[in-house]
């Protein structure tokens, strides 16, 4: 039934009023008319209020209905959008799965090609080295007139050939080193080395080649680094060789300096040669890139290898130069501390665990207090410990690391299976530690941590106890 609208809702009131008038006239009673009039007015007011409320409710219903329709329309649009997004995600998922499979195939192929490249480089280098050695020896014999007298022109020609053979040998060695570094197969044999010892070794090698050039050395006695001695000498000799190529003999000056600041040792090599243009500095450490004139001609790989070897030691290579005034090459390395040596050695071995077929880092702590004279100077104590370390190294496998931990500990870090740990101790007891009453403790790295001090402390605290394997947080011990 539809609600009454307009004047129709007032018809009952009008009928009531008419009936009251008729009754009042018939019975001649005015008060009935008054009562009916009051009731009529009340009814009319009530109906007016009800009408207004009904209209308000009707407007609210219309408004809510419109809002619900709009919300429903938006939900429908969102549902369609979500459906489109789901379909797009499914499509992207299938594409990614296909690309992932392709990447795996590509990576496998790249690994095969990298292995093949390393094999080719190694084989070619080996095949070239043998004839180059023979050529080098033959040239030296001819230069020394051991095979008969040679003319001045022949001597010049032979010297050019000898120089080219040296250059080719250097190129082969650099290619091999770079290939090992890029493949992650360059192993360092690091130990504590005095910076002055490295500088003196370089000077001995190049002193005959200095000629009239002057050379100045600024090197403190106490500075030490934790490095692979042969590799850092390779870097320093390469830098000095480059400097000699560009420094004039007459009036040429070279400075070798060592400075220590903020826990780092900086080896500086300065010349007063022609210098390097600013736009060429960025090319120095690029493969096969060369700058300068013919005097600086090289293989284009030496500085690249130097930079990579510095990075392997946690160091860096820098160069500053000014055209017409000379250049300074700086090799910056972490200064030696017991803590740094232990941390660096531990991380080097830990990174090899995934490819070591079930091996883990084994830490031996050897208490060498009985060997030391406690009244001796620090350098004397170091000499005793270093002799003991060398003896221990001779009875370990290649790649095992021997360190010192002040005041009187020798630390051995090795990759080994857990069941092989006691055999390492027994081997040292029969050889380097024979007849020496030195306590030895062992701890095994069980993964999950990065602090080798915990490993060392566990081994040291279990020195010469009954053999036991147990859990010490993330370290197990065998002593």
Tell me, what's the pLDDT at 440? 92
Mean of pLDDT values over 42-53: 76
Q: What is the pLDDT of residue 26?
A: 62
Quick one: pLDDT at residue 294?
44
Q: Look at residue 328 in the predicted model and tell me its pLDDT.
A: 94
What's the rounded mean pLDDT across residues 59-66? 89
Decide which of 462 and 290 is more confident: 462
Order the strands of the 409-416 sheet from edge to edge.
Answer: 401-405, 409-416, 360-367, 440-445, 475-477, 471-472
Residue 197: HSE in the Cβ half-sphere, 13 Å Cα cutoff: 13
**CB of 246 within 8 A of CB of 254?**
no
> Which of residues 13 and 348 earns the better pLDDT score?
348
User: Is residue 269's pLDDT more than 90?
Assistant: yes
d(CA 175, CA 200): 27
List CB contacts of 136: < 8 A, sequence separation 6 or more.
162, 165, 166, 169
Give the position of tokens 């002799």: 387
pLDDT of amino acid 290: 75
449 burial class (0-12, 13-18, 19+ CB within 10 angstroms)? middle
For 78, left (φ over 0), alpha (ψ -120 to 50), or beta? Answer: alpha
> In the prediction, which pLDDT does 399 show?
84
Residue with the bigger pLDDT between 67 and 291: it is 67
Q: Which residues pair with 414 in a beta bridge?
A: 362
pLDDT tens digits, one per residue of 224-239: 999 999 999 999 999 9
pTM: 0.68
pLDDT greater than 90 at residue 286: no
Residue 468's pLDDT is: 36
Parallel, antiparallel or unpaired: strands 409-416 and 440-445: unpaired
Q: Is the pLDDT of residue 22 over 90?
A: no
CB atoms within 10 A of CB 417: 14
Judge whether residue 199 has pLDDT over 80. Answer: yes
Inter-residue contact 290 to 298 (CB < 8 Å): yes
H or E stretch including 93?
helix 30-143
Pairing assessment for the beta strands 190-194 and 214-218 based on DSSP bridges: unpaired
Answer yes or no: is pLDDT of 375 > 90.
Answer: no
**pLDDT of res. 33:** 62
Per-residue confidence band for 7, with pLDDT thresholds at 50, 70 and 90: low
Q: What is the mean pLDDT of residues 192-210?
A: 90
Q: Label residues 351-383 b or e (16+ Cβ within 10 Å = b).
A: eeeeeeeebbbbbbbbbbeebeeeeeeeeebbe
Selection from 130-134, 160-164, 313-317 with the highest mean pLDDT: 313-317
Give the pLDDT confidence score for residue 309 in this predicted structure: 94
- Phi, psi (rounded to 5 degrees) for 276: -125, 135
pLDDT in tens, 28-40: 666 666 676 677 7
Percentage of the residues of the chain whose pLDDT score is greater than 90: 31
Average pLDDT of the residues of the chain: 83
Choose from 39-43, 152-156, 239-243, 470-474 the range with maximum mean pLDDT: 239-243
What are the structure tokens assigned to 470, written together?
A: 């147990």
Check pLDDT > 60 for residue 18.
Answer: yes
E strands, 188-315, where? 190-194, 214-218, 224-228, 253-261, 264-271
CA–chain centroid gap for 241, Å, is: 31
pLDDT at 177: 81
pLDDT of residue 207: 86
Residue 293: per-residue pLDDT? 55
Which of 48-52, 71-75, 217-221 is the least confident region? 48-52
| Predicted local confidence at residue 365, as pLDDT | 93
Q: Whole-angstrom Cα distance, residue 294 to residue 355?
A: 46
Q: Is the pLDDT of residue 276 over 70?
A: yes
- At 477 the three-state DSSP class reads strand
Handedness of CA 309, 310, 316, 322 (dihedral sign): negative
As beta bridge partners, residue 477 has 443
Residue 29 sits at φ, ψ, to 5 deg, of -125, 110
Task: From residue 473, give the alpha-carbon distance in Å to each of 90, 131, 350, 352, 425.
Answer: 45, 57, 17, 22, 23
Contacts of 134-141 with CB under 8 Å at 24 or more apart are 135/161, 135/165, 136/162, 136/165, 136/166, 136/169, 139/165
Q: With a cut of 80, say whether residue 186 has pLDDT above it.
A: yes
Q: What is the pLDDT of residues 351-365, one digit of tens each?
A: 888 877 889 999 999
- Using the predicted structure, report yes or no on whether residue 172 has a pLDDT greater than 90: no
Confidence of residue 297 (pLDDT cuts 50, 70, 90): low
Say what the pLDDT of residue 13 is. 61
Q: Which of 26-35, 265-274, 325-334, 465-474 has the lowest mean pLDDT?
A: 465-474
């Amino acid at each position: 039934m539809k609600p009454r609208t307009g004047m129709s809702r007032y018809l009952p009131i009008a009928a009531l009023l008419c009936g009251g008038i008729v009754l009042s006239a018939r019975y001649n009673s005015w008060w009935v008319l008054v009562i009916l009039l009051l009731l009529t007015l009340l009814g009319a007011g009530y109906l007016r209020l009800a009408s207004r409320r009904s209209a308000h409710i009707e407007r609210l219903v219309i408004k809510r209905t419109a809002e619900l329709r709009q919300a429903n329309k938006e939900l429908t649009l969102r549902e369609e959008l979500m459906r489109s997004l789901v379909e797009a995600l499914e499509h992207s998922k299938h594409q990614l799965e296909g690309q992932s499979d392709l990447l795996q195939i590509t990576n496998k192929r790249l690994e095969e090609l990298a292995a093949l490249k390393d094999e080719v480089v190694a084989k070619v280098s080996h095949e070239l080295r043998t004839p180059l050695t023979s050529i080098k020896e033959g040239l030296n014999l001819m230069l020394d007139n051991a095979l008969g007298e040679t003319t001045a022109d022949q001597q010049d020609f032979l010297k050019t050939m000898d120089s080219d053979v040296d250059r080719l040998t250097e190129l082969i060695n650099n290619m091999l080193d770079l290939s090992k570094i890029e493949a992650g197969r360059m192993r360092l044999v690091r130990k504590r080395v005095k910076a002055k010892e490295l500088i003196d070794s370089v000077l001995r090698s190049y002193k005959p080649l200095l000629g009239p050039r002057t050379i100045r050395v600024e090197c403190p006695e106490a500075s030490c680094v934790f490095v692979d001695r042969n590799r850092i000498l390779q870097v320093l000799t390469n830098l000095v060789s480059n400097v000699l190529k560009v420094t004039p003999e007459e009036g040429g000056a070279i400075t070798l300096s060592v400075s220590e600041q903020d826990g780092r040792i900086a080896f500086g090599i300065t010349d007063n040669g022609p210098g390097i243009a600013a736009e060429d500095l960025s090319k120095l450490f690029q493969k096969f890139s060369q700058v300068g004139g013919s005097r600086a001609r090289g293989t284009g790989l030496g500085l690249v290898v130097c930079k990579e070897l510095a990075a392997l030691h946690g160091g860096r290579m820098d160069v500053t130069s000014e055209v017409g005034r000379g250049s300074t090459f700086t090799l910056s390395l972490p200064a030696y501390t017991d803590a740094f040596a232990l941390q660096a050695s531990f991380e080097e071995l830990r990174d090899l665990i995934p490819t070591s077929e079930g091996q883990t880092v084994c830490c031996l702590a050897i208490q060498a207090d009985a060997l030391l004279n406690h009244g001796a100077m620090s350098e004397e104590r170091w000499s005793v410990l270093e002799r003991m370390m060398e003896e221990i190294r001779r009875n370990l496998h290649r790649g095992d690391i021997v360190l010192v931990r002040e005041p009187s500990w020798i630390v051995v870090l090795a990759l080994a299976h857990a069941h092989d740990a006691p055999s390492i101790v027994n081997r040292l007891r029969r050889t380097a530690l024979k007849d020496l009453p030195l306590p030895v403790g062992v701890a095994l790295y069980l993964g999950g941590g990065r602090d080798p001090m915990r490993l060392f402390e566990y081994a040291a605290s279990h020195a010469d106890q009954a053999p036991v394997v147990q859990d010490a947080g993330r370290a197990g011990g065998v002593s």
